[in-house]
Amino acid sequence: MTLDFLAPFYLWTKSLHLLSVFAWMAGLFYLPRLYVYHCQVAVGDPRSETFKVMERRLLRAIMNPAMIAAYLFGILLVLTPGVVDWRAGWWHGKLAGIVALTWVHHDLARARKGFAADRRPRSERGWRIMNEVPTLALILIVVMVIVKPF
């Protein structure tokens, strides 16, 4: 099966992939910060209820659709003939970064349910540390895709 019909759309697909990744990353950077601030207010405090709304909307309206779009356009890029040299090793590093981002996303989604039930799934310090994981994964992905060190 040949997928040559994807080639003329390569730049559009790449642009849409990057826009989706940017939106997803914005959420992956912001949601742990919201959790840090949420940990600073008492259960039942009106601000806690506000955080619950903000967290739910960020995850459902921005992060989930952006992640799905990033995956969709990324898969289309991978299927475009000539885009990935499967003999090279850089794509393994990128894949590891994608797995890490996906794990963080699902961990944040699980935690949102905990916050919604007035539980604190992690300490404020824990959320500050978690806030760094997407940055490290992003660095890995960018270096793999741009530098292609192996």
**What per-residue confidence (pLDDT) applies to 1?**
59
> What pLDDT, in 10s, does the model give residues 22-68?
999 999 999 999 999 999 999 999 999 999 999 999 999 999 999 99
Q: How far is CA 100 from CA 2, 11, 32, 87, 132, in A?
A: 31, 26, 15, 23, 12
**What per-residue confidence (pLDDT) applies to 2?**
73
